[in-house]
Structure 1
Amino acid sequence: MSTSVSPDLRQVWRGARVPLAILLLIVIVALAVVLSRGPQTSGDLEPGSYEPHGSHALAHLLEQEGVGITAVHSLAEARSAADGGTLLITQPDLVPANGIAELRRRVAHLVLVAPGSSALGQAAPEISLAGAGSVGVLQPDCTVGAAAAAGPVTLGGNHYRSSDVRARTCYPDRGASTFVQLADRSGTVTVLGAADALTNDKVATEGNAAFGMRLLGDHQKLVWYVPSIEDLAAHSGKKSFFELIPAGWRYGAFTAGIAVVLLALWRARRLGPVVREPLPIAVRSAETAEGRARLYRRGGATGHAAETLREAARARLRTRLGLPRDAGPPAIVETVSARTGRAPSAVGAVLYGGPPPDEAALVRLADELDAVEREVERS
């Protein structure tokens, strides 16, 4: 005589009711939070986004100063809304062909964020792309109102040069500028190398808030244009990936997904608690580190290995110097320079420099990091 050990419906319900109740509570709380916050938008530099890379904080400050903001996401909407005032284009390279040239004629001030050569050719052929670099805190070196009032600003990214003597450049970096403004009879064009100063996570640091408000608030009307890939596809005659999939395939994939979920729920039943068993062996942490190092060496990933060494050294330096975990590069470099007597540029090159070209340079970098840590420890 055999006895069945499979759980019946009552036992399954007893085991599942507590997790289901917790899941239902989480769903109710999430719905309540979403409904209480009202309609939300998401995306980089979206004026209504509360995400770290959104721009709701700056948009709110501008609206408090009386600037009317119109958010658009297509070239057609931008044409309708652009009538004088300021136009900000967050991703100029996604605007359809000749769209920027047309929009410039409709506004008094055009602001482009990190434009490429094609976008510059439409808006300001006198300005050329000179390269790209890292983002950091830069000091102004000009008399432009927005830059002079803001002081140090989080800029960088693309670098530009201008062949027009009327162009005003600010925030120089590596022989070029990350801010170029050109004014002529058709209006003003401002080019930014990066958008970090306009985001929610950076607007409250340095002079970013004053910079954004002076730059985008010079007129009472601001059109905030965030181009979309769908807008580019619609004007170029191309279809998106999902539009190319036949309707029958989409229905089949949806049906298969439901079947997979039901199969997973059925096979997820357990006859008892999970049995814990000790591992047969213990792996030393040094072996794990050595194995990862061999993988880096086999793949020639000297840059990745160098960044791992630098991040570990920066973490130890923050602890020894009493700096917070979120301390940025300027704070670490200045503190280490003050302790060791090294020049800030030398400290920055060791802790935040570029990737080493070969293994010998990687070994030298490791020795430099050890030397910096020993000097800090002795101080």
Structure 2
Amino acid sequence: MTGRRWRTARTIGLVILLIVAVSTLGAYLTAPRQGGLLQADSTAPDGAHALLTLLRDQGIDVVVADDIDDVAAAARPDTLITVAQTFFLLDGTVLDRLAALPGDRLLIAPSGVTRERLAPGVDLDGTVQFGGRPDCDLREAVTAGDVQLGFSDTFARADDGAATRCYGGALLRYQDGVHTVTLVGSGAFMTNAGLLGQGSAALAMNLSGTHQRVIWYAPQRIEGETTGATSLVDLIPPQVGWAVLQIGVAVLLVAWWRARRLGPLVAERLPVVVRASETVEGRARLYRSRRARDRAATALRTAALSRLRPRLGLGLRSSPAAIIDAVAGRLGTDAHVLWHTLFGPSPSTDEQLLALARQLDDIERQVAQS
């Protein structure tokens, strides 16, 4: 009897252990893989894993390049080099190597220096709500049809050369010698979450799948020459140490001074715990019930400006004109569009309020990545 019970307990233990092992393995394999914007293997909302999987399912050879050496090794005249996350491309040597490689190019939301090196003769032409009808004869755009893709930069040829502009200039293609260069002002529609938008998946597939071999180059760190002997501590001026020491002493003195004025701490249980998300939702419902779109827009703009000022190196008393100039200089965006978004009139409909929130979020994201 004892032996039978032992065998039964051992069997149950092995089954439980097997279930735990299978569950752990399944959770590991299906867990989302976090990563940067448009990173090839990232399954996060802003990753590009879904798009690259769709391209491979169509029989396209997708080569993921982690650095410029991988791009150079895989580049051929019949390839399409897709360049994303261009804010990390700061070194002139890296950009010159990219410009000299064979194959066509697809530049996703290129920064100023990347656009000058890889798409010479193309200038920023402003910003547009990326979406609607393509209004061009480019096959990739005509096939995708109407799209709703959000806020985007627009491009134009500086020398009035031949070029095809779609979606108000948010998509531009022209011939640069033997290279066909395509620029798109926003890469949001290519992300895992963005593919769900109207026409997004079709346009992303059409632009990325024009060749049987695609090199996906989305660097997640700064490319270029670095010196291994230099560390972050070496870049800090020597006066900073004394300043930090003085601030630390001042903080300790203030803490000691305030502690002498306070009595002993008394623990007290709160009658109710309210989550921050519930507070925000409750306030939003009050605004909506009173149709206070002006107050909601003011709250959104005030919060966005409070986060933008430190990133732009501006103080609390900075004038609206100074803020507009700083943002326009950082992003290359038309000042009138920025003024309308950051300091313009209050929206009159819920749709306009939602569009304003998205535009403010897009400006914050671009400033943070610039």
State the TM-score bracket (shorter-chain normalisation).
0.5 to 0.7
CA, structure 1 residues 217+304, in 2 after alignment: closer, same or farther (shift >3 Å)?
A: same
Between structure 1 and structure 2, the one with the greater Rg is 1
Does the CA contact (< 8 Å) of 2:88 and 2:222 recur in 1?
Answer: no
For residue 166 of structure 2, what is the aligned residue in structure 1? 170
Instruction: Confirm whether residue 61 of structure 1 aligns to residue 54 of structure 2.
Output: yes
Counterpart residue type for residue 90 of structure 1: A
User: Displacement of 1:137 after TM fit?
Assistant: 2.6
User: Displacement of 1:144 after TM fit?
Assistant: 0.9
1:275-333 deviation line (CA, Å, top 9, x unaligned)? 74649xxxxx9xx98xxxxxxxxxxx996426599xxxxxxxxxxxxxxxxxxxxxxxx
Supply the distance in 1 between the matched residues of 2:57 and 2:176 (Cα, whole angstroms): 30
Aligned pairs for 1:63-102 (under 5 A) are 63-84=56-77, 85-95=79-89, 96-102=91-97
Counterpart residue type for residue 187 of structure 1: H
Any gaps of 5 or more consecutive residues in structure 1? 1-26, 246-273, 280-284, 290-300, 310-352, 374-379
For residue 239 of structure 2, what is the aligned residue in structure 1? none
CA, structure 1 residues 355+237, in 2 after alignment: closer, same or farther (shift >3 Å)?
A: same
**TM superposition score normalised by structure 2:** 0.56
Counterpart residue type for residue 227 of structure 1: P
Supply the distance in 1 between the matched residues of 2:123 and 2:270 (Cα, whole angstroms): 64
Instruction: Confirm whether residue 226 of structure 1 aligns to residue 218 of structure 2.
Output: yes
- Where 1:157 maps in the other structure, the secondary structure is strand
- Where 2:117 maps in the other structure, the secondary structure is helix
Supply the distance in 2 between the matched residues of 1:224 and 1:64 (Cα, whole angstroms): 16
Supply the distance in 2 between the matched residues of 1:64 and 1:356 (Cα, whole angstroms): 46
Counterpart residue type for residue 63 of structure 1: R
Counterpart residue type for residue 209 of structure 2: G
Counterpart residue type for residue 75 of structure 1: I
Aligned pairs for 1:198-213 (under 5 A) are 198-213=190-205
User: Displacement of 1:194 after TM fit?
Assistant: 0.4
CA, structure 1 residues 107+208, in 2 after alignment: closer, same or farther (shift >3 Å)?
A: farther
RMSD across aligned positions (CA): 3.9
User: Displacement of 1:40 after TM fit?
Assistant: 4.1
Does the CA contact (< 8 Å) of 2:141 and 2:203 recur in 1?
Answer: yes
Q: 1:108 aligns with which of 89, 103, 112?
A: 103
Instruction: Confirm whether residue 216 of structure 1 aligns to residue 185 of structure 2.
Output: no
Does the CA contact (< 8 Å) of 1:138 and 1:155 recur in 2?
Answer: no
User: Displacement of 1:141 after TM fit?
Assistant: 1.2
Does the CA contact (< 8 Å) of 1:120 and 1:127 recur in 2?
Answer: yes
Aligned pairs for 1:1-379 (under 5 A) are 32-37=25-30, 40=33, 42-84=35-77, 85-95=79-89, 96-132=91-127, 135-153=129-147, 154=149, 156-162=151-157, 163-172=159-168, 177-232=169-224, 235-237=225-227, 241=232, 276=269, 278=271, 304-305=298-299, 354-356=341-343, 365=346, 368=348
- Where 1:79 maps in the other structure, the secondary structure is helix
Counterpart residue type for residue 211 of structure 1: L
Does the CA contact (< 8 Å) of 2:38 and 2:191 recur in 1?
Answer: yes
Counterpart residue type for residue 182 of structure 2: T
Does the CA contact (< 8 Å) of 1:181 and 1:190 recur in 2?
Answer: yes
Supply the distance in 2 between the matched residues of 1:127 and 1:108 (Cα, whole angstroms): 19
Supply the distance in 2 between the matched residues of 1:179 and 1:223 (Cα, whole angstroms): 20
Any gaps of 5 or more consecutive residues in structure 2? 1-19, 237-266, 273-278, 284-294, 304-339, 354-370
Percent identity of equivalent pairs: 26
User: Displacement of 1:118 after TM fit?
Assistant: 1.5
- Where 1:36 maps in the other structure, the secondary structure is helix
CA, structure 1 residues 111+242, in 2 after alignment: closer, same or farther (shift >3 Å)?
A: farther
CA, structure 1 residues 168+244, in 2 after alignment: closer, same or farther (shift >3 Å)?
A: same
Counterpart residue type for residue 171 of structure 1: Y
Does the CA contact (< 8 Å) of 2:38 and 2:85 recur in 1?
Answer: no
- Where 1:70 maps in the other structure, the secondary structure is strand
- Where 2:196 maps in the other structure, the secondary structure is coil
**TM superposition score normalised by structure 1:** 0.55
